[in-house]
Structure 1
Amino acid sequence: MAMSRIAGRFARIEPRLRAGRLALGLLSDLPRKNCWTIAEWAGEKTPHGMQHLLCRASWDADAVRDDVREYVVEHLYDEAAVLVVDETGDVKKGTRTVGVQRQYTGTAGRIENSQVAVYLVYAGARGHAAVDRELYVPRSWTADPQRCQAAGLGEDTAFVTKPEVARVMIERFLDAGHRIDWVTGDEVYGGNPKLRAALEERGMGYVLAVACSAEVDTKAGKFHADALAAKLPKRARQKLSAGRGAKGHRFYD
C-alpha cells in the first residue's frame, strides 16, 4: 500500500517517514522483528525512533486501520469472500506489556506469558489479509485500575470477551458499507450464543466450530454435537478441501 494513502494520518513528516520504514521492516525477511532489529535494518543507530512512533508520536492508528481495510477490500474484492475471526499471541517477558498474562497462545501451542489480539481477516479467491484488530485485555488487568493506568489504559477499561471483540470488529466492517455473507471462526467464537445471535440479527451466515459437548436442539430433542453427527449416515457427508497446506490439500468431512 502506498504510504501516500495514509500520509494524512500523521501530524508530522518524521513519524510518517519512519512508519514507512517500519512497514518495510515488517515485510522484510528479518528472522526476528522488534524495534531494535527493524531500526538496525533501516539504518538507524538506536531503536528510540521506532519506539517513539509506536508509543508517543501523534498519529491516528484507528484511521490507518480503516485505510488498510478499504485498501484490502479494493484489491482483493470477491463477491463470495468471507470474514475469518481468530486470535494470535506474542510471547512476552515481564508483566508490564498491556494485556500480558499466562494464557494459551497458538503461536507457542501452549500456555505462555503472552499478549493476545483478536484479528478479522477478509478472505476470497484473490487472497486474504487482515482488516481489523483489537487487543484482548484479560480480567487480571481490568480488575486492577492502577495497573491499567500505569500502562496507558483508562482506569475505566472494562473486560470484553474475545467473541464480543469479534462482534465489534464485524459490525465495524459492515457499518463501513461492505457486504459479506459469511463469517467463520473456531470454537472460541462458535461457543458464544451472543455472537451467533448478533450475526443472525444482521442476516449473516456463519460456520463456527463448537465443542463436541455443545447441545443442539432438534425436533427429536436435545443432542450433544458429537452424538448428533454420529447419527448421520456416511452418505450425508461430503469431503471437501479447505485449501492447500504445507502437506497438500486440507480435507474435511
Structure 2
Amino acid sequence: MTAEQIAGLDAELSELTGSLGRLFNRPEPRVVFTQYVEGLLAELPKKNGWTLSERAGHVTPDRMQWLLNGSVRDADRLRDEVCSYLVKHLGDPEASLVIDDTQAQKKGTKSVGVAFQHCGLTGDVRNRQTMVMLTYAAPGGHAFIDRRLYLPEDWTSDRAVPRGRDPRRRRLRHQAGTGRGDAQEALTSHVPFGWVLADAGYGHDPHLRGFCHDQVLPYVLAAPVDLPLTRPPGKPRQPAVKRADDLLHYAKARDRWERRSLGNGAKGERLYDFNAFDVTVTGEDPAEGFAHWLVMRRSLHPNRRGKNGELHREIAYFLVHAPTGTTLTEIITRAGGRWRIEEDNEINKQLVGFAQYQVRKWTPWHRHITACMLATAFLTVQHTGLTDPEPDTDTTPEKAANPGKDQVNDENKTTS
C-alpha cells in the first residue's frame, strides 16, 4: 500500500465517522465516537476502555465508558447506517444473507446473557455470551450487517431476570427466532440479496423455512438428521424415507457421489463428496416454481468415530429451497458461501476487539458490537477499492538493457 493510499484511508474514515454525527445529541460524544472507531482500527494489544482512552490521549477511561453506557443515542440507528454503507458500496442482488452465531467467553454471572452454553466449534460447555450475527456476503466482499444477543432460558423468565436487565426478553427467546428476525429486517430495509444461508442451529427451525417459502427466497440450510421427509425417491417396494438420514441407503446404493470444492480455506481447498435428492418435506410446500432438495456432503477421509470405535466419513445434510432446474454446482457454490460469516467472526475478533469489551448491560453491548461492525465494514469497502501501485513505465535505454527481477520473472512466466 502506498503512502497516498494510506492518507486516502484516513480521509475516508474521517468522512465516514463525520457523516454519523447526526446520531448524537451533543458534539462531545461525536468526537469520542470517532476516537473509539479509530482505536478499534489501530494496532493495539487489547481494545478496551483503558487502551482506547490512552490512544486518544485521555487521562482516564471515563469518556469512553460514558460513550457506551451513558450517552444518548440509538445503536440500531448506527446498525442501519452500517447496513446502508455496505449496500451502497457492495450491494448486489446475487448476494447472500448468512446467519450464524459466535461466542465470547466471560467470567462471572453479571453480564447480560452470560451462561454456561455449548459451543459448536469446540464442542465444550463454558461460561459465555452467544451473539447471533448476520453477514452480507456479496461478490465484492462481505461483512456483518446485523447482530443480536441471544438470551438463554435463565434470562428469559420473569422469575430469573432482575428488572431492567433485558428490555426485550420476550422477543429474543430462541436463537433460530433471532436469526429469522435478522432476515426479516433485511427484507424490510430493502437490502438486495438472492439467497439465505445458515447452519443446522437455524436450519431445523420450520418458521425460518416457512418465512423463506412465503417470501419466495432460495436457501441452503444445514439440516438435522431427523428432518421429517415423506416421499421415497425410488420404487414403492424400496424402504420409505421418513427422515433425512434414511436417504443414506439410497446414496450408497446408487453411488453417485460427485467431488466438488467449497472454495479455499485456511488449509487449502475444501473438497468434499456430494449427493443430492429431490425431496418432500413433511408439512412444508416450497414456493411456486421452487423445489426442495436434500444435499449430502461427505468428508473425503474417515474423521468420525462410531459407537463401536470404528472410523467413518462424516456426513452433513443440507436442505435446499431453490427454483426448479437449479444445478448442483450452483447449490454447492452457495453452500460454500456460508464460510464467509466464519471469516467475519475471525476478522472482528482478531482486528477490532469484537470480544474484548468490558461492559455488562444490554445497551452498551450493542453499542460496542455495532461500532466493531462499522470498523470492519470500512475495512471491507476500502479493501475492494484498493489498487496496486502504478507499474514502472520507465523505458530509458538503461532500464530496458537491465530489466529488474520482476520483469525477468514475468518473462519466465510467459515462456514456461
**Aligned match of 2:247:** 228
**Aligned match of 2:128:** 114
- For the 8 Å contact 2:95–2:139, the answer to whether it is kept is yes
Q: 2:182 aligns with which of 136, 157, 169?
A: 169
Alignment of 1:59-138 (within 5 A): 59-105=73-119, 110-138=124-152
SS in structure 2 opposite 1:147? coil
* TM-score, normalised via structure 2 length: 0.56
CA spacing shift, 1:41–1:243, aligned 2, 3 Å: farther
**Aligned match of 2:202:** 189
- For the 8 Å contact 2:148–2:178, the answer to whether it is kept is yes
Q: 1:239 aligns with which of 244, 248, 259?
A: 259
Larger Rg: 2
SS in structure 2 opposite 1:223? coil
**Aligned match of 2:217:** 204
Say whether 1:157 aligns with 2:169: yes
Q: 2:42 aligns with which of 7, 21, 28?
A: 28
- For the 8 Å contact 1:190–1:196, the answer to whether it is kept is yes
Distance across 2 between alignment mates of 1:10 and 1:107:
38
Q: In the TM superposition, what whole-angstrom CA distance separates every residue of 1:82-134 from its partner, at most 9, and x where no partner exists?
A: 00001111111111111111112357653211111111100022110000111
Q: In the TM superposition, what whole-angstrom CA distance separates every residue of 1:160-193 from its partner, at most 9, and x where no partner exists?
A: 2111111111111111122322101111000111
Which piece of structure 1 moves more, 18-27 or 59-68? Answer: 18-27
- For the 8 Å contact 1:142–1:148, the answer to whether it is kept is no
AA aligned to 2:117 is Q
Specify which structure has the bigger relative contact order, considering alpha-carbon pairs within 8 angstroms and separated by 6 or more residues: 2
Q: Which runs of 5+ in 1 are unaligned?
A: none
Which piece of structure 1 moves more, 84-93 or 100-109? Answer: 100-109
**Aligned match of 1:40:** 54
CA spacing shift, 1:48–1:78, aligned 2, 3 Å: same
SS in structure 1 opposite 2:132? strand
- For the 8 Å contact 1:105–1:114, the answer to whether it is kept is no
Q: In the TM superposition, what whole-angstrom CA distance separates every residue of 1:204-226 from its partner, at most 9, and x where no partner exists?
A: 11101012233322246433323
Say whether 1:55 aligns with 2:69: yes
Q: Which runs of 5+ in 2 are unaligned?
A: 1-12, 234-239, 275-416
Aligned-CA RMSD value: 2.2
Which one has a larger percent strand, Structure 1 or Structure 2?
Answer: 1
Distance across 2 between alignment mates of 1:169 and 1:106:
21
Distance across 1 between alignment mates of 2:184 and 2:94:
18
